Amino acid sequence: MARALAACAVALGLCAAGCEEEAPPARLVGQVHLTLLHTSDIHSRLFPYNLQLGQVDAGLGLGAAASIANVGGAARMSHLLGRERARSSRALHLDGGDCFQGAPIFNFYSGEAEIRALGAMGVDAMIVANHEFDRGALNLGIQLQQNAGFPVLAANYQLEDPAQPGASPLGAILQPFTVFDLEGLKVGVVGMGNLSSLTSIFEAPNRLGVTPLNTTEVAQFYVDLLRPTVDVIVFVTHLGLDGDERMIETTTGIDVVLGGHNHIVLQPPKRVRDCSRYYDEEEQRHYILLNDERSPGEGAKRRRYCAPRDVLLAHSGAFAKFVGRLDLVLSRDASELGGGYDPLNGFEVLSDRYELFPVTEGVPADPIVASALEPYAQGLDALANLDLLVGYAPGGSRRASASGGDSPLGNLVAGAMWLRLGIQTDFALTNTTGIRADLVPGPVTVEQMFNVFPFDNSISKMQLSGLEVQELFDFVARRSSGRGCVSQAQIAGARAVIDCAARSADGAASGVATHVYIGARQPAIACPNGDADCPGGEVGSCDVEARRCWQPLDPIATYELATSSYLAQGGSGFRVLQRNTTQLDTQVQQRDALIDAIRAGSPCGAGERGELASCRRDADCAGVGEGFVCACPESVVEGRACKTGEAPCSRGACVLARCRDDVAAYQRDVCAEAPTDWVREQCESALAPCSAAGEQCKYLACVDRRLGNFSDNRLRMVGQ
């Protein structure tokens, strides 16, 4: 008690003779080790999922390229985080935001499960990013208020007063920074939310109540505020790679930046020089520009001279595929750090090591996190039949194209919108980034449809003049040009050339759409030899798949467009659509349109009338094609590998053998978690997976070229 009173007296400045003053804690000396564990852009992938691996993911350790791997899951991530935390005396787990949106669990629980999962993992701090606002600021505030027992950061958002009627409680929850004392090492962590997607970080009619603040000014303010009292300053951001680099180059004093938003991995981390954007030739010194509050001029700037130093910049991927570990050896010994060391900067990074841990099937699940997520898994089973089969994709479907233009999945999606019964417009357009996942080869489930289209966007129809259509495609060209000449739209019923190098008429921006065509010519003109057969022989005028010439865009004609409600409301900057007054929201969700379009297809191997060849034995299917077997319940032999027995089939049909095998394996997963082998065998016996799979493959639609699952260069990218 006496010690406590003495402390109070000292704090109040009332200490008289006889008081025992406690000496301030001694500052650390020598080299100090710090571990930063980083996750970002989890996007609701709280449960493991199957992924067809590309070259990048394969190179980062997820598995062999083109193979299908089971990856992700919060419980697996938590095991890795716990293991790595135990291997370091000073460790922080920092999450870079966008833990919301991307899997069905968010659609049904609005972020509750994501926040609770991060808490169960033991996250030390997280930042809020754009997708945290997908159900509105009020929902985000409620979820954090009820479920977040850890600091939630965003320094560059000015929030509305939570006392206002209908306001979000975010203003009372979010904080710009937090400070951790790790065995005497004081680490200041500052959060920077996303700014580039502020126009689209909510689904109307939700309001944000967020005012974005200048990145450089905010970052430098908090660096200056924290520097006298902390040893190390770490920024956790969702600004994207370009935004991170710009922030570092225009500030001074940051030690480490852990970034997100672009879904990339920096292996190894980049070294970016701070205080390097501006150079004074006369003084021969670098400087940063800050607002001069003493000057009455609007936007007046003042220079602060500084010496450039290396700042570590790390990105650790997305979709719960990786956990990043950044080990730092820190020192404030000028003799170790070399000339130019400023004691104000406290500890500087002397050396670093970065490790990336893939979240694969071989990683055990943390039972604490698995237990926390179990009620949500059971709830999803009750709320939605996510395991219901929609179709079968022999080769899957990619959302990206090697040419940067139209992709197989993009064409499939746009075609489903364009030809949807009751919609059937002149053409359809949706944003490429709204298609969030590939279709993995094998059975296509309702859950995969949620992964492809996690957003609950509906299809809107509107009337556009030819001039507005040209303006629309020019905007797509400008966005595509600024993103590596990768098309930012997917279309159906139209064709265009996107010239990323051409400049607009006023010369203000790169990217122009040329050779725009809407619909086939009437009467039809065939073009078996390509564009040369069409009037004028213009580039892209022949649809090589349909062998029909297309109609050039008429500036004074009227065209009906089908697009997503998100774009219709101006999302991603599509102002040409937002200001249109003829909009009609059909209330048909894009996801449902895609599901219905797939289900309307024919099974693999079906003839022109959609019928499968009948058979009595496997040999009868030789004429259908390679890899087909005779499916009939009375002859199939159950086992880990399905076989057709010797008994002839009475009502057999030729189905793709891979379809039967893959669907049977999918059926067996129901029994995979049985407590004993005997129970599992009894479960499989009751399900008869091979027999059931053969019958299902007689009706499951085949996601192939006939369904529009191909790329045909309808968006031709030039000028890369």
| CA distances in angstroms from 482 to 479, 488, 495, 578, 720, listed in the order given | 5, 10, 21, 21, 11
| Residues 6 or more apart whose Cβ sits within 8 Å of residue 242 | none
Most confident of the ranges 18-32, 360-374, 502-516: 360-374
Q: How confident is the model at residue 210 (pLDDT cuts 50, 70, 90)?
A: confident
Residue 623 pLDDT exceeds 70: yes
Taking residues 585-595, report their average pLDDT: 97
Q: What whole-number distance in Å separates Cα of residue 98 and Cα of residue 133?
A: 9
Computed from CA positions of residues 107, 95, 151, 159, in that sequence, does the dihedral angle turn out positive or negative?
Answer: negative
* E strand segments, 58-196: 68-71, 91-95, 125-127, 152-153, 157-159, 177-182, 185-192
How do residues 345-367 score in pLDDT, each as one tens digit? 889 999 999 999 999 999 999 99
- Kindly report the backbone phi and psi dihedral angles of residue 70, in degrees, each rounded to the nearest multiple of 5, phi listed first: -95, 115
| Residues 6 or more apart whose Cβ sits within 8 Å of residue 237 | 96, 127, 191, 192, 243, 244, 247, 257, 258, 259, 260
| CA distances in angstroms from 628 to 89, 647, 649, 656, listed in the order given | 59, 18, 15, 4
**Higher-confidence position of 198 and 500:** 500
How do residues 147-157 score in pLDDT, each as one tens digit? 999 999 999 99
What number of H helices and E strands is found in the chain? Answer: 19, 37
Quote the pLDDT of residue 1: 38
Taking residues 366-385, report their average pLDDT: 94
Tell me the DSSP string of 250-286. Answer: T-S---EEEE-SS--B-SSPEEEESS-SEEETTTTEE
Tell me the DSSP string of 694-705. Answer: HHHTTTSEE-SG
Q: Determine the angle formed by the axes of helices 689-696 and 677-687, rounding to 10 degrees.
A: 40
Residue 454: closest CA among 40, 41, 115: 41
User: CB count, 10 Å around CB of 112?
Assistant: 17
Q: How confident is the model at residue 685 (pLDDT cuts 50, 70, 90)?
A: confident
Q: SS in 3 state form for 607-640?
A: CCCCCCCEECCHHHHCCCCCCEEEECCCCEECCC
Q: How many CA atoms lie within 13 A of 427 on its CB side?
A: 27
Quote the pLDDT of residue 8: 40
Most confident of the ranges 23-27, 502-506, 593-597: 593-597
Q: SS in 3 state form for 477-546?
A: HHHHHCCCCCCCEEEECEEEEEEEEEECCCCCCEEEEEEEEEEECCCCCECCCCHHHCHHHCCCCEECCC
Supply the mean pLDDT for the chain. 91
Residue 104 pLDDT exceeds 80: yes
User: CB count, 10 Å around CB of 188?
Assistant: 23
Residue type, 58: A
Taking residues 16-20, report their average pLDDT: 48
Instruction: Report the predicted TM-score, pTM, of the whole model to 2 decimal places.
Output: 0.88
| CA distances in angstroms from 121 to 101, 179, 222, 329, 370, listed in the order given | 19, 20, 28, 25, 10
Q: What whole-number distance in Å separates Cα of residue 32 and Cα of residue 451?
A: 43
User: CB count, 10 Å around CB of 287?
Assistant: 17
State the chain's maximal CA–CA distance in angstroms: 105
Q: What percent of the chain has pLDDT over 70?
A: 94
Domains of the chain are 2-274+309-372 (3.60.21.10), 388-601+714-718 (3.90.780.10), 614-699 (no CATH)
Flag the least confident range among 11-15, 177-181, 404-408, 503-507. Answer: 11-15
Residue 222 pLDDT exceeds 50: yes
DSSP state of 8: H
DSSP state of 172: G
What tokens does 156 get? 């560059």
| Residues 6 or more apart whose Cβ sits within 8 Å of residue 5 | none
Q: What whole-number distance in Å separates Cα of residue 266 and Cα of residue 272?
A: 13
Quote the pLDDT of residue 6: 41
Q: How confident is the model at residue 202 (pLDDT cuts 50, 70, 90)?
A: very low
Q: How confident is the model at residue 24 (pLDDT cuts 50, 70, 90)?
A: low
What tokens does 99 get? 């833990």
Taking residues 531-555, report their average pLDDT: 91
Quote the pLDDT of residue 673: 73
Taking residues 154-179, report their average pLDDT: 90
How do residues 641-672 score in pLDDT, each as one tens digit? 898 888 888 889 999 999 999 999 998 887 88
Quote the pLDDT of residue 42: 98
Residue 709 pLDDT exceeds 70: yes
Q: How confident is the model at residue 16 (pLDDT cuts 50, 70, 90)?
A: very low
What tokens does 292 get? 């001069």
Q: How confident is the model at residue 25 (pLDDT cuts 50, 70, 90)?
A: low
Taking residues 482-488, report their average pLDDT: 93
| CA distances in angstroms from 99 to 112, 114, 290, 366, listed in the order given | 11, 6, 33, 19
Q: How many CA atoms lie within 13 A of 117 on its CB side?
A: 33
Taking residues 50-56, report their average pLDDT: 94
**Alpha carbon distance, N-terminus to C-terminus of the chain:** 73
Q: How many CA atoms lie within 13 A of 390 on its CB side?
A: 22
Quote the pLDDT of residue 249: 97
Beta carbons of 140 and 114 less than 8 angstroms apart: no
Say whether 443 sits in a helix, a strand or coil.
strand
Quote the pLDDT of residue 7: 41
Q: What whole-number distance in Å separates Cα of residue 172 and Cα of residue 192?
A: 17
How do residues 230-246 score in pLDDT, each as one tens digit? 999 999 999 999 999 99
Q: Determine the angle formed by the axes of helices 689-696 and 657-668, rounding to 10 degrees.
A: 130
Q: How confident is the model at residue 541 (pLDDT cuts 50, 70, 90)?
A: very high
Q: How confident is the model at residue 27 (pLDDT cuts 50, 70, 90)?
A: low
Quote the pLDDT of residue 684: 80
User: CB count, 10 Å around CB of 714?
Assistant: 24
Flag the least confident range among 432-436, 492-496, 641-645. Answer: 641-645
Q: How confident is the model at residue 26 (pLDDT cuts 50, 70, 90)?
A: low
Residue 630 pLDDT exceeds 50: yes
DSSP state of 122: T
Q: What percent of the chain has pLDDT over 90?
A: 75
Say whether 402 sits in a helix, a strand or coil.
coil
Residue 296 pLDDT exceeds 80: no
Residue 298 pLDDT exceeds 70: no
